[in-house]
């Protein structure tokens, strides 16, 4: 029973700076450039480059924030509740992004759409020019096709001359540049300036391959076609809504026992510990797909998947020992600076009726909103540099719609954090990058930029990138020893869907009512492993829960990874001393289950303490035993009641004996109790 009133916020999308945080030296410009080897690279390489960029941005980030205390650099605007994710310039801020109001974005505002609660399950696409002078809103097909495109967001990309103006252009937003060599095309279209005053000198289109079926001038027709071509199953999820309930206090985490608001995603398998996720994400190297001759004829939108997950666990610090192969890959995604400039413009407008871009989210309750992230494409200008590189600058990406539910009594700080978590979860999770050319999705990753026409000056105008929920849940193409296998998105596993059941909001309750488990935060009054009180879950003001959406279309899109994985990347977990109550629970569980069944212990007593993995419990037991054996004077930290330590020794002795007995009886078989 939820006693607290909640405020629901539906965020259709966030504009996310591509480069949340550039090196100090480069931060001023906030631009990051990427250089891609040559023109022969396949489209996938381009994707990997772009996507890799995104991931890389987050990896070096010092982790953050579980214990964030709402100091995030965020601001909330009253009326529209429009939030914007922006790169954080604050040195002390660990985060890459921060949420702030988007109201001030004048140019964006002009593009915003009015809210329209109705037809929320329809998806639309909006195309705008940088100055928003144009706006195309076209209804996209509703239904299957529509779903496919849902959740994707497009970045606006513009290629421009190296002479782009730094002023007035790239202020807050980070930018990413993609530089691709293009040996053949010398003809150039130069885009000067940015935003409203950008202009370009066009060249006649010259297609090497098949010309695009669309006319770039008319966006209204572009989009539908684009959608049309999206494989039905490529994006199994129709929305990115996430309902998050956060604690109503700001969580000035006392010590480490109050992990603070944490987002919990349905898709999460209880058994999967943070650790694994973190590890997977830790491997931030995007492997650029090798030439895939075999797949050359495939039309499918390909994406790489990898076999060995173990390889993906490699952490940053392991890089030095990384095989050359890996390092090479890593190097390849290394960000290079470029003096070349380009202009682009951020895209913020969303096609979503109602919840949109700027004034979006509206403070209104978005209950059951079927908001669907719309795909946004932008106008692009291009420029061909002499060195035959195609230079692109991606100013920003939009994050798919988020759905947040938070208690009325929550503090602004916690709201910020909640949003932050949701956003970072999306960012940190698996995202696919899609390439749009002339509004058409380029699915054949094996084609070269040249072949697809991406390297064509004219085409650069209509080149766009989209970030889409990764259908595979796999934290996107990460480093792997094995060569990536390319598989069409179509056959990838769809994300777990939320039950269509409108009452599903309560379906999560069971998760919260674990046997005397610790709910995310530990309290001194923590329950003993035996008192199974379901009441605890009812108090959802304590923990974060992702509440499923009502509509059948409402699907969990937030990439499987919970909370801000990105920040965890490469980061050692924060130390969280076990509280006495936790020790109590541990001891009790071990007394019952014995040593050697840590997973069971975890499930039994720490089911909801997500930060405690069974390995942690095992380690803790180990230290407990050690602690119990040493003199009280030598012990450190919060003193553990001698009574508990005695039980530890007793239990340890008992189970050790049991184990020994089993060994004698069945030396071969495993120990079962």
Partner DNA sequence: CTTAGGG
Partner DNA sequence: CCCTAAG
Which residues 278-297 are close enough to bind DNA by CB under 7 A? 279
Instruction: Pick between residue 292 and residue 495 the one whose CB is nearest to DNA.
Output: 495
Instruction: Pick between residue 230 and residue 628 the one whose CB is nearest to DNA.
Output: 628
Instruction: Pick between residue 251 and residue 444 the one whose CB is nearest to DNA.
Output: 251
Interface map 533-572 toward DNA (x if CB under 7 A): ---------------------------------------x
Nearest to 97, CA basis, from 111, 108, 86, 89 = 86
Which residues 571-630 are close enough to bind DNA by CB under 7 A? 572-576, 595-600, 611, 614-616, 618-619, 622-623
Stated as kind and residue range, the H or E segment containing 580 is helix 580-593
- Cα–Cα distance measured from residue 177 to residue 185, given in angstroms and rounded to the nearest whole number: 19
Instruction: Pick between residue 465 and residue 621 the one whose CB is nearest to DNA.
Output: 621
Q: Residues of 379-395 as b/e, b for ≥16 C-beta within 10 angstroms?
A: bbbbbbbeebbbbbbbb
- Cα–Cα distance measured from residue 654 to residue 527, given in angstroms and rounded to the nearest whole number: 25
Nearest approach in angstroms of CB 599 to DNA is 3
Instruction: Pick between residue 172 and residue 272 the one whose CB is nearest to DNA.
Output: 272
Instruction: Pick between residue 279 and residue 370 the one whose CB is nearest to DNA.
Output: 279
- How many residues in total does the chain contain? 673
- What angle do the packed helices 580-593 and 614-629 form, to 10 degrees? 100
Instruction: Pick between residue 615 and residue 653 the one whose CB is nearest to DNA.
Output: 615
Nearest approach in angstroms of CB 316 to DNA is 9
Nearest approach in angstroms of CB 87 to DNA is 26
End-to-end CA distance of the chain: 39
Strand-pair partners of 451: none
Nearest approach in angstroms of CB 542 to DNA is 19
Interface map 252-271 toward DNA (x if CB under 7 A): -------------------x
Which residues 21-80 are close enough to bind DNA by CB under 7 A? none
Task: Dig out the tokens for 133 from the structure.
Answer: 């002078």
Q: Is 318 in the site for DNA (CB under 7 A)?
A: yes
Q: What is the DSSP string of 286-342?
A: PPPPPP-GGGTT--SBEEEE-S-SGGGG--GGGGGGS-HHHHHHHHHT--B------
- Cα–Cα distance measured from residue 474 to residue 332, given in angstroms and rounded to the nearest whole number: 22
Nearest approach in angstroms of CB 68 to DNA is 17
Task: Dig out the tokens for 385 from the structure.
Answer: 């540099």
Which residues 634-673 are close enough to bind DNA by CB under 7 A? 671
Instruction: Pick between residue 460 and residue 648 the one whose CB is nearest to DNA.
Output: 648
Nearest approach in angstroms of CB 283 to DNA is 12
Backbone angle region of 24, left / alpha / beta, with phi > 0 → left and psi within -120 to 50 → alpha: alpha
Instruction: Pick between residue 6 and residue 611 the one whose CB is nearest to DNA.
Output: 611
Instruction: Pick between residue 415 and residue 640 the one whose CB is nearest to DNA.
Output: 640
Q: Which stretch binds DNA (CB under 7 A): 50-58, 272-280, 350-358, 368-376?
A: 272-280
Which residues 75-104 are close enough to bind DNA by CB under 7 A? none
Nearest approach in angstroms of CB 311 to DNA is 11
Options 276, 327, 365, 485; binder of DNA; rule CB under 7 A: 276
Taking the CB of residue 359, how many other CB atoms lie within 10 A of it? Answer: 21
Instruction: Pick between residue 485 and residue 599 the one whose CB is nearest to DNA.
Output: 599
Nearest approach in angstroms of CB 576 to DNA is 4
Which residues are within 8 A (CB) of 238 and not within 5 positions of it... i.e. 6 or more apart? 146, 147, 150, 151, 372, 553, 554, 555, 557
- Cα–Cα distance measured from residue 17 to residue 168, given in angstroms and rounded to the nearest whole number: 16
Q: Is 365 helix (H, G, I), strand (E, B) or coil?
A: coil
Nearest approach in angstroms of CB 328 to DNA is 20
- Cα–Cα distance measured from residue 230 to residue 144, given in angstroms and rounded to the nearest whole number: 10
Q: Count residues contacting DNA (CB under 7 A)?
A: 30
Burial of 634 (0-12, 13-18, 19+ CB in 10 A): exposed
Alpha-helical runs (H) found in 375-469: 412-428, 449-452, 457-460
Nearest approach in angstroms of CB 271 to DNA is 4
Nearest approach in angstroms of CB 577 to DNA is 7
Instruction: Pick between residue 118 and residue 672 the one whose CB is nearest to DNA.
Output: 672
Instruction: Pick between residue 58 and residue 351 the one whose CB is nearest to DNA.
Output: 58
- Cα–Cα distance measured from residue 113 to residue 118, given in angstroms and rounded to the nearest whole number: 13
Q: Is 360 helix (H, G, I), strand (E, B) or coil?
A: coil
Nearest approach in angstroms of CB 476 to DNA is 17
- What angle do the packed helices 614-629 and 598-605 form, to 10 degrees? 100
Nearest approach in angstroms of CB 25 to DNA is 29
Options 317, 328, 629, 661; binder of DNA; rule CB under 7 A: 317
CB 325 within 8 A of CB 78: no
Task: Dig out the tokens for 367 from the structure.
Answer: 């209950």
By CB under 7 A, name the binding residues for DNA.
Answer: 271-273, 275-276, 279, 313, 315, 317-318, 572-576, 595-600, 611, 614-616, 618-619, 622-623, 671
């Amino acid at each position: 029973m939820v006693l607290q009133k909640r405020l629901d916020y539906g965020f259709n999308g966030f504009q996310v700076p591509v480069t949340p945080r550039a090196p100090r030296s480069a931060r001023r410009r906030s631009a990051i450039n990427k250089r891609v080897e040559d023109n022969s690279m396949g489209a996938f390489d381009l994707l990997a480059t772009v996507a890799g960029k995104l991931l890389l941005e987050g990896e070096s980030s010092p982790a953050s924030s579980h214990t964030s205390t709402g100091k995030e650099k965020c601001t909330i605007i009253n009326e529209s509740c429009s939030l914007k994710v922006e790169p954080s310039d604050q040195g002390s801020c660990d985060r890459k992004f921060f949420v702030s109001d988007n109201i001030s974005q004048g140019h964006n505002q002009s593009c915003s759409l009015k809210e329209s609660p109705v037809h929320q399950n329809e998806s639309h696409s909006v195309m705008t020019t940088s100055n928003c002078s144009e706006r195309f809103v076209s209804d996209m097909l509703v239904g299957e096709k529509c779903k496919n495109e849902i959740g994707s967001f497009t970045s606006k990309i513009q290629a421009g001359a190296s002479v782009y103006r730094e002023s007035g252009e790239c202020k807050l937003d980070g930018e990413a540049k993609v530089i691709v060599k293009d040996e053949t095309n010398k003809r150039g279209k130069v885009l000067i300036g940015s935003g409203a005053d950008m202009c370009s000198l066009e060249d006649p289109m010259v297609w090497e391959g098949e010309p695009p079926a669309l006319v770039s001038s008319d966006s209204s027709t572009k989009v539908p076609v684009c959608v049309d071509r999206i494989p039905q199953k490529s994006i199994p999820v129709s929305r990115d809504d996430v309902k998050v309930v956060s604690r109503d206090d700001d969580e000035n985490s006392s010590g480490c026992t109050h992990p603070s608001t944490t987002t919990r995603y349905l898709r999460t398998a209880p058994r999967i510990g943070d650790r694994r996720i973190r590890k997977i994400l830790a491997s931030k190297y995007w492997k650029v797909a090798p030439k895939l001759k075999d797949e050359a004829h495939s039309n499918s939108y390909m994406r790489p998947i990898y076999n060995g997950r173990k390889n993906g666990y490699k952490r940053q610090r392991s890089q030095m020992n990384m095989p050359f192969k890996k390092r090479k890959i890593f190097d390849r995604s290394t960000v290079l600076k470029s003096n070349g400039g380009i202009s682009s413009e951020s895209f913020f407008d969303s096609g979503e009726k109602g919840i949109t871009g700027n004034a979006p989210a509206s403070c209104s309750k978005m209950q059951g909103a079927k908001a669907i992230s719309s795909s946004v494409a932008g106008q692009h200008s291009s420029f061909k540099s002499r060195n035959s590189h195609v230079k692109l600058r991606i100013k920003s990406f939009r994050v798919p719609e988020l759905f947040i539910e938070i208690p009325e009594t929550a503090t602004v700080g916690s709201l910020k954090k909640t949003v932050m978590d949701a956003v970072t979860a999306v960012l940190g999770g698996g995202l696919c990058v899609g390439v749009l050319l002339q509004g058409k999705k380029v699915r054949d990753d094996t084609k070269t930029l040249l072949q697809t026409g991406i390297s064509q000056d004219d085409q650069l105008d209509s080149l766009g990138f989209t970030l889409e929920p990764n259908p595979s849940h796999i934290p996107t193409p990460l480093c792997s020893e094995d060569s990536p296998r390319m598989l069409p998105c179509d056959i990838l596993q769809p994300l777990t869907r939320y039950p269509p059941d409108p009452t599903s909001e309560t379906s999560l309750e069971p998760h919260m009512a674990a046997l005397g488990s610790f709910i995310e935060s530990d309290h001194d009054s923590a329950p003993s492993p035996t008192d199974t009180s379901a009441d605890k879950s009812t108090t959802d003001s304590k923990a974060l829960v992702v509440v499923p959406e009502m509509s059948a279309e409402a699907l969990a899109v937030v990439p499987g990874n919970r909370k801000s994985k990105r920040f965890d990347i490469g980061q050692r977990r924060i130390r969280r001393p076990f509280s006495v109550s936790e020790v109590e629970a541990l001891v009790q569980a071990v007394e019952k289950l014995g040593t050697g069944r840590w997973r069971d212990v975890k499930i039994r007593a720490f089911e909801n303490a997500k930060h405690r993995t069974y390995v942690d419990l095992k380690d803790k037991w180990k230290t407990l035993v050690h602690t119990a054996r040493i003199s009280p004077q030598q012990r450190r930290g919060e003193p553990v009641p001698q009574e508990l330590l005695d039980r530890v020794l007793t239990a340890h002795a008992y189970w050790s004996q049991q184990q020994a007995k089993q060994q004698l009886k069945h030396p071969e078989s495993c120990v079962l109790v």
